[in-house]
Amino acid sequence: MKYQFDKDFLWGVATASYQIEGAYDQDGRIPSIWDTFSKTPGNTYMGHNGDEACDHYNKFKEDIALLKKLGIKAYRFSISWPRIFKDGKYKLNEKGLKFYKDLVEELKKNDIKPIATLYHWDLPQILQDEGGWSNPEIIKYFVHYASVMFNALGDDVEQWITFNETSVFLYLGYLYGIHAPGIKNLDLTLKAIHNVHLAHGETVKLFKNSNYKNQIGITLNLSPNYPYSVEEKDIIAAKTNDAFWNRMFLDPILKGSYPEEILNNPFGNTLKEIIKDDDMEIISHPIDFLGINYYSRSVIKHDENETFKYKSIPQDGEKTSMGWEVYPDGLRVLLNYIKENYGNIPLYITENGAAYEDKLENGKIHDIDRINYLKRHFISAKKAIDEGVNLKGYYVWSFMDNYEWAEGYVKRFGLTYIDYETKQRILKDSAKWYSQVIKNNFIEE
Ligand code: NCW
């Protein structure tokens, strides 16, 4: 069977600043919450941090040459806010800004579309010291940061993404305390969620009112929720999890409201108290596209003993080395769910990929598992397109192995292998396979 993609389908790869750049104190970069969090004992695997990472900051030309060699059409990267301001707020750091100008220029010279994320989790520590996302003051600093980046690169970046995976950095960082800034507080989480949404909406408004020609959107980490059984209790439980992880972040932006399940919960009162009159209108300022990061599905079962009366049931069978279930059809289901509930907004898979235990053998990495993972997910996406979903591009996570946050350097997601001692880049078999997919623009099964 041959799965043919549209000639304009945008095949790309994705990365994030703190995960690849290294050069943590070069050219005036100030510390981020991830520098602090990773250097606090016990927070990350073996105390790993992003001080050096892949040294992409000094090797970006070499990296772009690899993108070119592979025929990659779009490169999604993120901008490090701590490189842009000396004080995290208004004092511009020209050297930091220049890095992104040079990066974008090099991409364009090589005919690769730049896709930029403004926030992929590396908040300047100095802003966290004032409460971070839970303090509404942060909104104006973020909008100012965005305006500086738009002034510098507004029309050169093909797609602007305000935030990466709001649910993940907000729940893992403010509620579960397993990501930076390591807080465990429901009240602060709700405040932070609302402030992030406002910062997003104000930024979209600014971009639109300034008449830049390209697009702006947001990237959410979404998973379809499957009830454990046909029993009504399990069906309701799956819907509740959907409200927490998906709709809590989709609805404000695409519908201008928070889910009823959340507002009607006792803790929803905190949210109701925070929301001001015009907030929801600001938050839902129309975006041009929705970015979706898809990794797996959730299977949910009712359970009286749990705080929210349900739990996620781990599945037997195939998993990646993150322990995430391999479930390609979930992508097709998720894309249809978006189409049915949020209209036919243009969609991009802004991340999908897998970590496996890659082995370097005679200078090569035969990562057949990753090829099989990607192949099945590409086919699932194509099936969704045939069912009427408005999917326009697909960016594989990740272009290169990188610092996998609390998991450190052991989890390798890359199409490119990084030797962390020498910083040598080695293309894995999956990179060569992906290059062929892009060239053919079809997949055969
Ligand atoms: S951790 C995570 N990731 C990986 C990361 O490298 C990247 O920066 C992120 O955009 C790969 O892609 C994203 N996602 C979190 C997945 C959900 C975890 C849910 C845990 C529940 C307690």
Write down the domain spans for the chain: 2-444
163 Cβ inside 6 Å of ligand 1: no
Give the nearest ligand 1 atom to 223 CA: 17
Residues catalogued as catalytic: 165, 351
Alpha-carbon span 388 to 109, nearest angstrom = 35
Summarize pLDDT for 145-172 with one digit per residue, the tens. 999 999 999 999 999 999 999 999 999 9
Give the nearest ligand 1 atom to 165 CA: 10
Residue 326 has pLDDT above 90, yes or no: yes
Ligand 1, atom 15, residue with closest C-alpha: 168
Give the nearest ligand 1 atom to 404 CA: 6
The verdict on whether residue 397 carries a ligand-binding annotation is yes
401 Cβ inside 6 Å of ligand 1: no
Summarize pLDDT for 212-240 with one digit per residue, the tens. 999 999 999 999 999 999 999 999 999 99
Residue 387 has pLDDT above 90, yes or no: yes
pLDDT for residue 341: 98
165 Cβ inside 6 Å of ligand 1: yes
Give the chain's mean pLDDT: 98
Distance in Å, CA 2 to ligand 1 centroid: 31
The verdict on whether residue 159 carries a ligand-binding annotation is no
CATH number of the domain located at residue range(s) 2-444 in this protein: 3.20.20.80
Distances (CA, A) of 422 to 54, 123, 363, 418: 9, 29, 14, 8
Alpha-carbon span 17 to 15, nearest angstrom = 7
CB 418 within 8 A of CB 42: no
Give the nearest ligand 1 atom to 407 CA: 1
Question: Per-residue pLDDT averaged across 93-119, rounded?
Answer: 99
* Cβ burial, residue 372 (10 Å; 0-12/13-18/19+): middle
The verdict on whether residue 215 carries a ligand-binding annotation is no
Give the nearest ligand 1 atom to 219 CA: 10
Residue of 120, 121, 397 to mutate, ligand 1, most atoms within 8 A of C-beta = 397
HEC per residue, the chain: CEEECCCCCEEEEECCHHHHCCCCCHHHCCCEHHHHHHCCCCCCHHHCCCCCCCCHHHHHHHHHHHHHHHCCCEEEEECCHHHHECCCCCCECHHHHHHHHHHHHHHHHCCCEEEEEEECCCCEHHHHCCCHHHCCCHHHHHHHHHHHHHHHHCCCCCEEEEEECHHHHHHHHHHCCCCCCCCCCHHHHHHHHHHHHHHHHHHHHHHHHCCCCCEEEEEEECCCEEECCCCHHHHHHHHHHHHHHHHHHHHHHHHCCCCHHHHCCCCHHHHHHHCCCCHHHHHCCCCCEEEEECCCCEEEEECCCCCCCEEECCCCCCECCCCCECCCHHHHHHHHHHHHHHCCCCEEEEECCCCCCCCCECCECCCHHHHHHHHHHHHHHHHHHHCCCCEEEEEEECCECCCCHHHCCCCCCCCEEEECCCCEEEECHHHHHHHHHHHHCEEEC
pLDDT for residue 266: 87
168 Cβ inside 6 Å of ligand 1: yes
Summarize pLDDT for 3-12 with one digit per residue, the tens. 999 999 999 9
Summarize pLDDT for 390-435 with one digit per residue, the tens. 999 999 999 999 999 999 999 999 999 999 999 999 999 999 999 9
Distance in Å, CA 339 to ligand 1 centroid: 23
Summarize pLDDT for 260-297 with one digit per residue, the tens. 999 999 889 999 999 999 999 999 999 999 999 999 99
| High-pLDDT (> 70) share of the chain, % | 100
Distance in Å, CA 179 to ligand 1 centroid: 10
| High-pLDDT (> 90) share of the chain, % | 98
The verdict on whether residue 81 carries a ligand-binding annotation is no
16 Cβ inside 6 Å of ligand 1: yes
The verdict on whether residue 404 carries a ligand-binding annotation is yes
294 Cβ inside 6 Å of ligand 1: no
Handedness of CA 360, 103, 440, 373 (dihedral sign): positive
ipTM of predicted assembly, 2 dp: 0.91
pLDDT for residue 267: 87
Ligand 1, atom 14, residue with closest C-alpha: 168
221 Cβ inside 6 Å of ligand 1: yes
404 Cβ inside 6 Å of ligand 1: yes
pLDDT for residue 250: 98
